[in-house]
Amino acid sequence: MMASITRTAAVARSAPSLVRGLATWGPAFKKGPAVKKTTQLKKLITTPGQLGFLMEAHNGLSAKIVEEAGFKGIWGSGLSISAAMGVRDSNEASFTQVLEVLEFMSDNTNIPILLDADTGYGNFNNARILVRKLEARGVAGACIEDKLFPKTNSLLGTSEGKPLASIEEFSAKIRAMKDTQKDSDFVVVARIEAFISGWGLEEALKRAEAYKAAGADAVLIHSKKSDPSEIASFCNAWNGKHPVVIVPTKYYTTPTQTFKDWKCTGVIWANHNLRASVTAMQETCASIFKNENLLAVEPKVASVKEVFRLQDQPELDAAEKIYLPQKKA
C-alpha cells in the first residue's frame, strides 16, 4: 500500500499537467463551473431583452453533444427521455427513473439543465421533493405544467377540453417548490397548457398572472398549432411583463427574430436530437438488414474512436498511468 502511494505521488510530481487534467474530470473531482449552473440558467432564459436557447437531450451522450455544439443550456425533455426508454410520455417512467437519466446528463456536462418535470410527479409535496433531488444532482431548474397527473403529451392532440390543474393548486405547487430550493437561483418555470386544452387567451393570461405572483421565474406558453397565432396573441397581450419561454416545435417556420419581437426570453428546441437519432438508427438498421454487411453504413456513422472521445476515454487512459501499478520495464 505504502509503495503504491509513494509511487502515485512520484508519478504525479513527474506529470503535473496530467494531474491538472484529472482535477477537472468527472463529478467527484470537479470544482464546478465558475458561475453556478443555476445562475447560468436563470440568466439564459429569464433576462429581459435577451433570447436564450435550450436544446433537447435525453441521456448523458446527447447532453454532451448539445454542450459541444455550443448551446448554453439543455432541455431535459420528457417526451425524448421517455421515448428513449421505449415508453410513452404519460408518466410511465417513474420519477426516480427520470432522475437517474438526469444524473448522467448533469454529471456529463458543464452547462445547466432545465428538466421537463411534467406535473411535478404528484402534488406540491412530490414537486418540492423533486426540487431537493434535482439540486442534489446539479440540475439547474424544473419546468412544471398545469395538467393533471398522469399527463399526456401536448402535441398528441388529445388534451382538448381536458381539465387543467386549478390555478390555486398549481400556484401553491410553485410556491412549495420556490420555498424548498436551497439555491436562490434554482429556476422554476411554470408551463401554461390553456391553449393546448382549448381554453383560450383569457385563461392563459389569468394563469400567467397567477403563476408569476406565485414566484415562477418564467412562464412557458405552449401551443400545438402549426401557426403562431396563439403564442403571438399571448405575447402581445403579456408584453414582456415577466420572462416567457416558448417551444416552437409546431410553428417552426416562424422566424426566430419574431420571438425576439414578442419579447420572449427563452426558446426550447424540444425533441430534435431524439428525432434525428430515430431517423439515423432506422436508416442504419435498414441498410445493414438489407445488405447483410456494413459497407454502406460505415462512411455515414461516427467512428468508434469518436465514441471513445465522447466517453472521455483518454482521461481514463491517463489516470491509469498514475493510479494503476505499472509494469516494470
Residue 154 found at the interface with ligand SPV (CB under 6 A)? yes
Q: Which range in 73-81, 97-105, 165-173, 253-261 contacts Mg ion by CB under 5 A?
A: 73-81
* CB closer to Mg ion out of 56 and 116: 116
Partner that binds at residue 271, options ligand SPV, Mg ion, none, CB closer than 5 to 8 Å by kind: ligand SPV
Residue 247 found at the interface with ligand SPV (CB under 6 A)? yes
Partner that binds at residue 155, options Mg ion, ligand SPV, none, CB closer than 5 to 8 Å by kind: ligand SPV
- Is the dihedral angle over the CA atoms 71, 74, 80, 81 positive or is it negative? positive
Residue 270 found at the interface with ligand SPV (CB under 6 A)? yes
Residue 78 found at the interface with Mg ion (CB under 5 A)? yes
- Indicate if 89 belongs to the active site: yes
Helix and strand tally (H, E) in the chain? 15, 8
| Out of 52, 60, 73, 78, the residue judged to bind ligand SPV by CB under 6 A | 78
Residue 249 found at the interface with ligand SPV (CB under 6 A)? yes
* CB closer to ligand SPV out of 188 and 270: 270
Amino acid residing at 261: D
Q: How far is the CB of 44 from Mg ion (least distance, A)?
A: 19
Q: Which long-range contacts (CB under 8 A, 24 or more apart) does 279-282 make?
A: none
Q: Are 322 and 35 in contact (CB under 8 A)?
A: no
> According to CB under 5 A, which residues from 112 to 151 bind Mg ion?
116
Amino acid residing at 282: Q
| Out of 103, 116, 135, 217, the residue judged to bind ligand SPV by CB under 6 A | 116
Amino acid residing at 263: K
- Whole-angstrom distance, CA of residue 122 vs CA of residue 125: 7
Q: Are 44 and 63 in contact (CB under 8 A)?
A: no
What are the DSSP calls for 4-23, one per residue? HHHHHHHHHHH-HHHHHHHH
- Rounded-to-10 torsion of CA 76, 80, 86, 87: 80
Distances (CA, A) of 210 to 57, 166, 167, 214, 227: 30, 11, 7, 6, 27
What are the grid coordinates assigned to 114, written together? 432545465
The Cβ of residue 223 has, within 10 Å, a number of other Cβ atoms equal to: 26
Q: Are 106 and 137 in contact (CB under 8 A)?
A: yes
Set 89, 116, 146, 217: catalytic member? 89
| Out of 44, 65, 74, 79, the residue judged to bind ligand SPV by CB under 6 A | 79
Q: How far is the CB of 78 from Mg ion (least distance, A)?
A: 3
Reference 149, options 133, 169, 134, 168; nearest CA is 169
* CB closer to ligand SPV out of 228 and 322: 228
| Out of 77, 91, 119, 223, the residue judged to bind ligand SPV by CB under 6 A | 77
Residue 153 found at the interface with ligand SPV (CB under 6 A)? yes
Partner that binds at residue 185, options ligand SPV, Mg ion, none, CB closer than 5 to 8 Å by kind: none
- Whole-angstrom distance, CA of residue 130 vs CA of residue 188: 11
* CB closer to ligand SPV out of 24 and 158: 158
* CB closer to ligand SPV out of 181 and 271: 271
* CB closer to ligand SPV out of 130 and 322: 130
Reference 91, options 101, 82, 100, 99; nearest CA is 82
Q: Which range in 58-66, 99-107, 150-158, 254-262 contacts ligand SPV by CB under 6 A?
A: 150-158
What does the binding site for ligand SPV look like in residue numbers (CB under 6 A)? 77-79, 116, 153-155, 247, 249, 270-271
List residues with catalytic annotation: 89
What does the binding site for Mg ion look like in residue numbers (CB under 5 A)? 78, 116
